[in-house]
A and B are shown apart, each in its own frame.
Chain A
Amino acid sequence: MTELSRSAPQVSPKLGWLTSQTQLVLLVTLFALCLLISLAAPQFYSVDNIIAILRQSSLVLIVAVGMTMLLIAAEVDLSVGASLAFAGVVAMDVTNKTSSVTLGVMAGILFGGGVGLINGLIVTKLRINSLIATIAMMMMLQGSVYLYSREAVQNKHLQPLFTWLSTGYVGPLPLPVVVTAVLFAIGYVVLRHTTLGRYVYAVGANEKAARLSGIRPARIKMLVFIVTGLLTGLVGVILCSLMNAGQPTAGRGFELTVVAAVILGGTSLTGGRGTLLGTLLGVLILKVIDNGIIILRWDQDLQMVIPGFIIVIASYLDLLRKKSNAS
């Protein structure tokens, strides 16, 4: 062991523990939050309330699965909020016109996928920074959705299946929660156990090294943009089903919630670092806070203030941890 201590600087056991246990810290935070809220408002632990939290978390989490992969690959997509609104409008419109829920849902999802594809092309072919490219995409989508439809597209087809997408249950669990669980599990396995997942990390950690190792970073990035787009389309459809209308204004600020949750979960904006488990905990923490604010009857504007505050704290702690590793 004496030989080893020479080659690598040692990290104290305590700090090393913290590094590998980002998720444990988040988990403790989550439990502490639940405990505090339930002390003040016992109804927090009702089955209905927990289901409500899961339902609210599910929409954010679906997109966050893609966003986590994007951030790990050192890219970001800020157009997801605008894209999901447009996808909902398209889904409702197509269902109205064809009376086919399948076609409507497909149209919504493919719309999102198409947006992802264009984002990916702009970023990998034109080499435009994804932050800028996707903000531009957000603006284009927010404007063009009104060119597509002046007002919200109402449900004229009255297909019960369409409403079931958001309100249905599989056993005791709402359908969106089940869909989320499945997508999350797939994403988890892909990132953790497949070559594709490894390549996503590699491209984000060091794109040149990845390319020198015979990987095609542009393809990996394209794929992750498209996956994020498809997931966004799906969420657009579910949200549209929930509101029973295609709202052009739906999903405003949604992209920030998603990115906030992913970053809170320990994924680095600079790429190469992050886990889906962290993202899951990040989403749950934000949504428990939301829920707490509502059941404690606090001012709802705090729903923006408190998460903002938490992100600053979390990022700062992350920085401290990195520093203690670096010495």
Chain B
Amino acid sequence: MQADRSLAGTPTEVSGAPAVTMTGITKLFTGVKALDDVSLTLLPGRVHALMGENGAGKSTLIKILAGVYRPDAGQISITGKLADLRSPRDALRQGIKVVFQEIALIPEFTVAENIFLEGYPTDRLGSIRWDRIRADAAALFARIGFDVNPDDKVGNLPVSKQQMVEIARALAHEARVVVMDEPTSSLTPAEVAKLFDVIRRLTALGMAVVYVSHKLDEIFEIADTVTVLRDGRHISTKPVSEHTHETLITDMIGRRIDNLFPRARGAAGEQVILDVEELSTEKLKGISFKARAGEVLGFFGLMGAGRTELAKAIVGFDPITTGRITIGGQLLQPHDTRTGKALGIGLLTEDRKSEGLMLDLSVTHNMSLASLERFSKSGFVSEPSEKSAVQAFVDRFRVKTPGLTRQIKFLSGGNQQKVLLARWLMRGLKVIVVDEPTRGIDVGAKSEIFALIDELASDGLAVILMTSEMPELLGLSDRIAVLAEGRLTAIMDRADATQEKILDAAIA
């Protein structure tokens, strides 16, 4: 019924009266406290960042606000009135819109159809007014400055555009509170800037915005207030101006990290282990580079530059059109991961869920997958030796798991990533390609992953790092290569690299 009242509607006054107050929220999952007496006050016209490591209780809190879960104790009031949010529908009616991380659009529908999914305008006969849906969607995009065609089928759009549609959908209906759960995880820098513009417009209209992110820089840029949760408890709520990177990290993980990028390794060796010559695929054009034992070679590139394509081609996962890939002096058979593995190259994928993990299987089975031959005689797996090897890596990498037979889906992102890294190290490699190794991983675990990457290089592996995170690139690499639209546009020593040089090459 409110379908045509959009963000141009009546602005709430930017006054001191809170839009939403959550007090003493406690939520138990099968006896474990996911949230313990947490309070949160959202003021109209303000961006409130919610931070914490994975498992800190952020998503539980958001889901309670969205009416997905009901709290076991505590109260929620909306504009001063006590509210009982029994379902997402209730929350929507009260003006609370949540943009979840996972995209929940219907791929077969057009952008416009998706945006107005919750209530299509109809004429007197009850038939849907498609013309108006299209016009409204176009108007909405024009207003918030997103470049999306309302007639495109959602399934044909890249993920970043889908996310923009998802955000636009939240704004199509009048909202008092907009919650964004890691909205930038698949956006390009330009799109992030646009999103921030939109957020500023929303707050100018008096909406309260809850912003969940792992990216500290974004928090400092956009948020007014930061609330940090840890282990389901409220740790601090402060204006962002009173925080520094260090204080925020300390609040989140409960200890200080002195150096996010520890470097224990010495200088890289001279021996070339990976030699890529004139590699071309459908997407890549004539890429040549060498990687030496003991070095981290970082590849930077904007979205769509071809990082993941390069990663997949050099490990033999994707076919190539021309070029040669040599590992330890031996030629890799393209498009065949089996010979790739035999020569000693492996990929830690950027997409853990769909290309890395076997979610229903145990930690043991996930970790030993690439090195089963090592534990087997004439095809029979020796479970004791497999188990002891897995245990050794669980100890060495400090993987937090209740047991080796635990299904891997119950582990946190950081611990899953350690298991996948161990999958390759157990096998023993010469070259490891790590593609966005810290995507979706919280700060505490990030520094551990960085330390592991450093350790790999000091063990004599060549590490090929694909990343879109500038601090990660600068903090880890010995040399930096830059991709733009499938071409290698620059390759430089870390000592000569600056952000400007790198970005210049990335945009070229």
Chain A residues at the B interface, C-beta cutoff of 8 Å: 3-12, 15, 193-196, 198-199, 201-202, 205-206, 208-216, 268, 272-273, 325, 327
Contact = CB atoms under 8 A, between A and B. Distances in A.
Contact of A214 (B29, B30, B370, B412): B370
A10 B32 contact: yes
B337 A3 contact: no
Given A205-B361, A208-B355, A215-B337, 17 more contacts: A8-B406, A193-B380, A193-B381, A193-B383, A195-B373, A202-B361, A208-B349, A209-B355, A209-B357, A209-B358, A209-B369, A211-B317, A211-B337, A212-B349, A272-B360, A272-B361, A327-B29
Contacts of B361: 201-202, 205, 272
Contacts of B55: 6-7, 9
A215 B338 contact: yes
A304 to B, nearest CB: 31
Contact of A4 (B358, B370, B379, B402): B402
B360 A216 contact: no
25 contacts: A4-B400, A8-B402, A8-B410, A9-B32, A10-B29, A11-B410, A12-B31, A193-B380, A195-B373, A195-B379, A196-B379, A201-B365, A206-B354, A206-B355, A206-B356, A209-B356, A209-B357, A211-B317, A212-B317, A212-B347, A213-B369, A214-B338, A214-B341, A214-B346, A215-B369
A3 B400 contact: yes
Interface of B: 29-32, 55, 231, 315, 317, 337-338, 340-342, 346-347, 349, 354-361, 365, 369-370, 372-373, 376, 379-381, 383, 400-402, 406-407, 410-412, 415, 423
Contacts of B407: 325
Contacts, number: 115
Nearest to A204: B358
A213 B337 contact: yes
A198 B349 CA distance: 21
A213 B341 contact: yes
A29 B271 CA distance: 64
Nearest to A268: B360
A214 B32 contact: no
Contacts of A4: 400-402
State the main secondary structure of chain B at its contact with A.
mixed
A198 B412 contact: no
Nearest to A206: B358
B32 A7 contact: no
Nearest to B414: A7
Contacts of A213: 337, 341, 346, 369-370, 423
A24 B483 CA distance: 56
B415 A212 contact: no
Nearest to B345: A214
Given A214-B340, A214-B341, A195 B354 contact: no
A208 B365 contact: no
Contacts of B406: 8
A214 B337 CA distance: 5
A225 B411 CA distance: 34
Nearest to A196: B379
A107 B21 CA distance: 76
A193 B379 CA distance: 8
A8 B401 contact: yes
Given A195-B373, A206-B354, A214-B337, A11 B380 contact: no
B31 A10 contact: yes
Contacts of A11: 30, 410
Contact of B231 (A6, A194, A205): A6
B370 A7 contact: no
B67 to A, nearest CB: 16
Contacts of A210: 369
